[in-house]
Amino acid sequence: MKSFTYERAASPAEAVAAAARVPDAKFIAGGTNLLDLMKLEIETPGHLIDVNGLGLDKIEPTNEGGLRIGALVRNTDLAADARVRRDYGVLSRALLAGASGQLRNKATTAGNLLQRTRCPYFYDTNMPCNKRQPGSGCAAIGGFSRQHAVLGASEACIAVHPSDMAVAMRALDATVETVKANGTTRSIAIADFHRLPGDTPDKETVLDAGELITAVTLPKPIGGTHIYRKVRDRASYAFALVSVAAIVQRDGTGNVALGGVAHKPWRMEAAEAQMPRGATAVAERLLADAKPTSDNAFKLPLVRRTLAGALAEAKG
């Protein structure tokens, strides 16, 4: 681990000011991802700004009838919140399908969105990796790629985003609220928040340097049956091979997002238009442009089946 300095910020304004002052600073929340990466020198910040004391740990109703989830709300608390469980069941289920109890106690809403890929070559600093070291190449292409992307990948990177929570948030049309050092705030639709790898896989979101996430807001509840189905090699404590977040309305319409298939949660409004025609039609549309590797070609039938299972479950 590279040596670093540390400070504890007391307000969002203080945090972003600190980030603007020190060029290689990073925010630290639960630390469950960042610290691991620092130990391996995959992340090498010179300065850490602890954001745990910013008072962003509340879940509050919005004027629009939705919920505003503070950036520092722990995954455990978010999953257990009565309003979340009642109105946004898919989110609660996705959270509980992730990591372990201990990790969820530390992990935060913002940290979860910003967690980095689990590509094993990204984790091994002897290996070329465009995400870790731009321009060095991608060892996963032509290597062991069972976990990797089947959609939206590039010549530069085929990694997937590992979050479960983000997949549910995508299905729920969440919005990410941020603040920058100059005081400007923005609301970023979750659809636009994560980027595809393109030729800059090191840039994973649209956040600017030093931009702080303050909250994630959920729109007014949309009802429907909420399902989160995560498929994995063992019963718990494993990242998704694929996952399906589905919100299905009585009339058969609804929202569907996939995890474990791309550099970001995968959702296509055009595919959802097919929902009344059934799961096969939806999957066909979702996977139309899929480019699997020989290691992960199974993800295509797996998505089809899992989606069919989820939609059948929603019908009851």
Partner 1 sequence: MKFNTPATTNPIDQLKVVGHPLDRIDGPLKTTGTAPYAYEHHEGVANAAYGHVLGAAIAKGRIASMDLSRAKAAPGVIAIVTAENAGRLDKGSKNTAKLLGGPDIEHYHQAVAVVVAESFEQARAAAQLIRVDYVKADGAFDLSDARKSATPPTDTQADSARGDFTAAFAAAPVTLDETYSTPDQAHAMMEPHATIAAWTGDKLTLWTSNQMIAWGVDDMAATLGIPKQNVRLVSPFIGGGFGGKLFLRADALMAALGARAARRPVKVALSRPMMFNNTTHRPATIQRIRIGATPDGKITAVGHESWSGDLPGGGPELAVQQTRLLYAGENRMTALRLAVLDLPEGNAMRAPGEAPGLMALEIAMDEMAEKLGMDPIAFRVANDTQVDPEHPDRPFSQRRLVECLQLGAERFGWSARAAQPGRVRDGDWLVGMGVAAAFRNNLVMKSGARVRLDNKGMLTVETDMTDIGTGSYTVIAQTAAEMMGLPLEKVRVRLGDSSFPVSAGSGGQWGGNSSTAGVYAACVKLREAVAQKLGFNSADAVFANGDVRLGNRSVPLTEAAGADGLSGEDTMEYGDLSEKYQQSTFGGHFVEVGVDVVTGEVRVRRMLAVCAAGRILNPKTARSQVIGAMTMGVGAALMEDLKIDKRLGFFVNHDLAGYEVPVHADIPHQDVIFLDETDPMSSPMKAKGVGELGICGVAAATANAIYNATGVRVRDYPVTLDKHLDRLPELS
Ligand X SMILES: Cc1cc2nc3c(=O)[nH]c(=O)nc-3n(C[C@H](O)[C@H](O)[C@H](O)COP(=O)(O)OP(=O)(O)OC[C@H]3O[C@@H](n4cnc5c(N)ncnc54)[C@H](O)[C@@H]3O)c2cc1C
137 binds partner 1 (CB under 8 A): no
In the range 287-306, which residues lie near partner 1 by CB under 8 A?
A: 298, 301-302, 305-306
Closer residue to ligand X in complex, CB, 26/226 = 26
Q: Does 4 bind partner 1 (CB under 8 A)?
A: no
Decide which of ligand SF4, partner 1, ligand X, none touches 157; Cβ closer than 5 to 8 Å per partner kind: ligand SF4
Of residues 33 and 296, the one with the C-beta less far from ligand X: 33
Residue type, 306: T
Selected from 9, 16, 30, 286, the binder of ligand X by CB under 6 A is: 30
Query: For residues 235 and 97, what is the distance between their CA atoms, to the nearest angstrom?
Result: 10
> Which residue reads 């890929």 in tokens?
117
3-state secondary structure of 63: coil
Smallest CA-to-CA distance from 308 within 256, 264, 262, 250 is with 256
Region for residue 42 given its phi and psi (left: phi exceeds 0; alpha: psi -120 to 50; beta: otherwise): alpha
How many residues line the site for ligand X (CB under 6 A)?
A: 29
- For ligand SF4, the binding residues (CB under 6 A) are 117, 119, 121-122, 129-131, 138-140, 157-159, 201
> Is position 201 an interface residue for ligand X (rule: CB under 6 A)?
no
Q: Does 99 sit near ligand X (CB under 6 A)?
A: yes
Question: Residue 221 CB, nearest distance to ligand X (Å)?
Answer: 23
> Which residue's Cβ has the minimum distance to ligand X?
111
Query: Can you tell me the distance from the alpha carbon of 175 to that of 206, in angstroms, rounded to the nearest whole number?
Result: 13
Is residue 47 close enough to count as binding partner 1 by CB under 8 A?
no
Footprint on residues 193-252 left by partner 1 (CB under 8 A)? 229, 231-239, 241
Residue 4: alpha-carbon gap to chain centroid: 27
Paired residues of 185 in beta bridges:
179
> Per rule CB under 6 A, is residue 71 in the interface with ligand X?
yes
Q: What distance in Å separates the CA atoms of residue 179 and residue 28, rounded to the nearest whole number? A: 16
Which tokens belong to 65? 């009838």
| Total residues binding partner 1 (CB under 8 A) | 38
- Determine whether 237 is exposed, middle or buried from the number of CB atoms within 10 Å of its CB (0-12, 13-18, 19+): exposed
Q: What one-letter code names the amino acid at 72?
A: L
Residue 122 C-alpha from the chain's centroid: 17
Interface with ligand X by CB under 6 A: which residues? 26-34, 51, 71, 98-99, 103, 106-108, 110-112, 114-115, 162-165, 212-213, 239
Interface with partner 1 by CB under 8 A: which residues? 1-3, 39-41, 118, 120-121, 123-127, 139, 142-144, 146, 229, 231-239, 241, 298, 301-302, 305-306, 308-309, 312
